[in-house]
Structure 1
Amino acid sequence: MTIALLVTALLMGFFGSPHCLGMCGGLVTAFGLSMKDVSPAKRRALVATYHLGRLTSYALLGLIAGLIGITVLKPLMMGNSTPRILLGLVLVFVGVTMLGAPFLTKLERFGMRFWQYLSPLRQKVFPLNTFPRALTAGLLWGFLPCGLVYGALLIAVVAHNPLSGAALMFVFGLGTIPMLVATHETVGWLRDKIGRFRLRQLNGAVMVISGLAVAVVPMVMANMHSGHGEMNHGSHAAMMSDMDSHDMSQMNHDMDMTTDMGHNMQDMDNHMDHSMHDMSDESMDMSHNEHTEMMEHAQ
C-alpha cells in the first residue's frame, strides 16, 4: 500500500463528507441533544470518544474487507498484474460513484435493514453522558449504511493485506471528521465551498483518471518496452550477420593469402633444390677434369 492510496482515502472522506452529513446529520443532532446536561469540556471529550468508536468500526470493516480480498482474490493475484488492474478498476468505479452515478444505492438499502436490526441496541446508549456509552454509540454508528463507506471498502478489499485495509478505512474516517464536528456556521461554509467548486466531483474525476492510469499505463509501457526489445534484437541480429559476413570474407582472404604464400614457399624450395643439383653436377665435372689432368701428368 502506498502513501498515494492513503491520501486518496483521506480526500475521498473529506470531499464526500457533505453526503455523510446528509446521512448522519440526524444522528449527530441526536447525540448532541443527549449531551446537553454535561459540561462543555466533557462534551468535547464525549464527541471525540464516539468518533473514535466510529473510526474503530471503519478499521474493523476494513480489516474484514482485507481478509476477504486476500483469501478470495489471492489465487488470482499470484505472479501477474491482476492486483494493479483490479485496484485501477475499483478507483474508477468509486470515482464514477462520487461523480453521481447511483451504483451503490441498492447496497445502501440492504445495509439499512441491518441498521434497523440494531435499533434496540442503539436506544440503550442514550443519553450519551458516559464514555462507555459514547464509545458504544460510535461503534454502532460505523455500521450506518453509506454508499461512500462501501466505496472505500471496495478499495480496502483490493488492498494487499488486512492491515492495509484497516488503515485505509481509518484514514477515510479521519477525512469525514471536519464536517461532522464543525459548528452550524462552519458546516454551512464547508458545504458551500465544496458545492461551489464541485470539489467532490473534481475528486471523483481525479480518482477515475488515477484508476485508469494505474490499470492501463503500465500495460502500455510494457508493450512499448516489448516492441523496443524486439527492435533491438533484430538490429543486433542484423549487426551480427554483417559482422559474420565480414569475418567470413576476411577469413577467406586470409586463407587465399596463406595458400599463395605456401605456393611461393614451394617454388622457392624447388628453385633451391634445382640450384643445389646444378652446383653438385658442376663440382663433379670439375673433379673429373682435375683427376684426368693429374693422370696425364704422371705418365
Structure 2
Amino acid sequence: MTTALLVAALLMGFFGSPHCLGMCGGLVTAFGLSMKDASPAKRRALVATYHLGRLSSYALLGLIAGLIGTTVLAPLMMGNSMPRILLGLVLVFVGVTMLGAPFLNKLERFGMRFWQYLSPLRQKVFPLNTFPRALTAGLLWGFLPCGLVYGALLIAVVAHNPLNGAALMFVFGLGTIPMLVATHETVGWLRDKIGRFRLRQLNGAVMVISGLAVAVVPMVMSSMHGGHDMSNMHGDHMQMSDSEMMDMPMDADMDHSSHHMMPADDNTSHQGMDHSMHDMSDASMDMNHNEHSETMEHAQ
C-alpha cells in the first residue's frame, strides 16, 4: 500500500470530522459527563483509552474489509488491471460523497439498526470511571454508523491486504481525533476554518481527481504505447514487404531467363541431331553409289 493512500485516509478523517462531530458529539458529551468525578489526569487517560478502543475497532473492521477484498475480489482480478481501476472508482465514489452526495445514507440507516441492537451493552459501560469500561466504550463506538467510516472501509476492501486495510482504518481514525478531543473553543475554531475554506469539499475534489488518475491515466498511456508499438510493427511489415518485393523480381527474372535458356538448348540439341542424321544419310547414299558402280563394272 502506498504512502499516498494512507495520507488520503488521514486527510479524509480530519476534514470529514466536522460531519462526524454531529453524530458523535452527543456520545462524546455523554462520555465526558460520566467522568466528571475523575481527576483531570485520569480523565485525560480515560479519554485516550476510549479513543484507543475506537481506533482498535476501526482497525478490526479494516482487517475484515481487507480480508474480504483478498478472498473475494483478488482471485477475480489476478493478472489484469482491475485492482487499479476498482481503487480509482472507489476513490471517486468516496470523493463525491465528501462533496455532499448522499450515496451512503441508506447504509447509515442500516448501521443504525445494529447500533440500536448494541444499546443494552452500551448502557453497561457507564459511568466511564475505569479503564476497562473506557476501552469497551471505545470498541463499541467504532460501530457507530457513519457514512465517512463506510467510505474508508470501501478503500480498505480494495487494498487487497488485511494488514493494509487495518492500517488504513487506524490512520483514518487518527485523523478524526483532533476534532473529537478538542475543547469547545477549539472545536468551534476548527469547524469554522474547515467550513470557511471548504476543506472537506476540497479534499473530496482531490480524491475524485486522484481516483480518475489512478483508473484512467494508466489505460490511456497503455493505449498510446500500444498504438506506437503497432505503428512500429506496421513499419517493419512495410520494410519486409519492400524487401520481399525487391527479391521477387530477381527470382522472376532468373526463372524467366532459365525459361528462355531451356528452349535454346533444345533447339541446339535438335539441330545437332538433324545434322548427324543428314551426315549418316549422305554416307549411306555414298555407300550405295559405290556398290552400284562396282556391280556395273563386274557385269561388263
Fold agreement, TM-score > 0.5: yes
Alpha-carbon distance in 2 for matches of 1:93, 1:144: 21
Deviates more, 1:49-58 or 1:215-224: 215-224
Alpha-carbon distance in 1 for matches of 2:15, 2:6: 14
Aligned to 1:193: 193
Aligned to 1:263: none
Aligned to 1:206: 206
Residue 150 of structure 1 pairs with residue 150 of structure 2: yes
Runs of 4+ aligned structure 1 residues displaced above 2 Å come to: 236-253
Q: Tell me the alpha carbon deviations over residues 64-101 of structure 1, each in whole angstroms, 9 at most, x when there is no partner.
A: 11111112212321111111111111111111110001
Residue 13 of structure 1 pairs with residue 9 of structure 2: no
Aligned to 2:29: 29
Alpha-carbon distance in 2 for matches of 1:40, 1:96: 41
Identity %: 88
Paired residues for 1:244-263 under 5 Å: none
SS of 2:33's equivalent?
helix
Q: Tell me the alpha carbon deviations over residues 156-214 of structure 1, each in whole angstroms, 9 at most, x when there is no partner.
A: 11112111111110010000000000111110010000000000001111111111111
SS of 2:102's equivalent?
coil
Aligned to 2:59: 59
Tell me how far 1:237 sits from its aligned partner.
2.6
Tell me how far 1:236 sits from its aligned partner.
2.4
Matched AA of 1:182: A
8 A Cα contact 2:74 2:160, kept in partner? no
So what's the TM-score if we normalise by structure 2? Answer: 0.81
Gaps of 5+ in 1: 256-299
Residue 87 of structure 1 pairs with residue 100 of structure 2: no
Aligned to 1:268: none
Alpha-carbon distance in 2 for matches of 1:182, 1:42: 17
Matched AA of 1:175: G
SS of 1:85's equivalent?
helix
Q: Tell me the alpha carbon deviations over residues 29-65 of structure 1, each in whole angstroms, 9 at most, x when there is no partner.
A: 1111111111111111111110000000000001111
Tell me how far 1:248 sits from its aligned partner.
7.8
Aligned to 1:234: 234
SS of 1:73's equivalent?
helix
Alpha-carbon distance in 2 for matches of 1:198, 1:92: 18
Residue 140 of structure 1 pairs with residue 140 of structure 2: yes
Tell me how far 1:246 sits from its aligned partner.
6.1
Aligned to 1:105: 105
Deviates more, 1:74-83 or 1:241-250: 241-250
Alpha-carbon distance in 1 for matches of 2:77, 2:44: 45
Alpha-carbon distance in 1 for matches of 2:137, 2:146: 17
Tell me how far 1:243 sits from its aligned partner.
5.0
Matched AA of 2:60: L
Alpha-carbon distance in 1 for matches of 2:19, 2:236: 60
So what's the TM-score if we normalise by structure 1? Answer: 0.81
Alpha-carbon distance in 2 for matches of 1:139, 1:42: 19
Alpha-carbon distance in 2 for matches of 1:46, 1:249: 94
Alpha-carbon distance in 1 for matches of 2:149, 2:208: 17
Alpha-carbon distance in 2 for matches of 1:78, 1:208: 25
Alpha-carbon distance in 2 for matches of 1:35, 1:108: 29
Alpha-carbon distance in 2 for matches of 1:50, 1:7: 24
**RMSD of the TM alignment (CA)?**
1.9
Matched AA of 1:183: T
Alpha-carbon distance in 2 for matches of 1:139, 1:66: 19
Matched AA of 2:135: L
Paired residues for 1:149-168 under 5 Å: 149-168=149-168
Aligned to 2:282: none
Tell me how far 1:252 sits from its aligned partner.
11
Matched AA of 1:191: R
Q: Size of the alignment, in residue pairs?
A: 255
Residue 174 of structure 1 pairs with residue 174 of structure 2: yes
Alpha-carbon distance in 2 for matches of 1:123, 1:241: 84
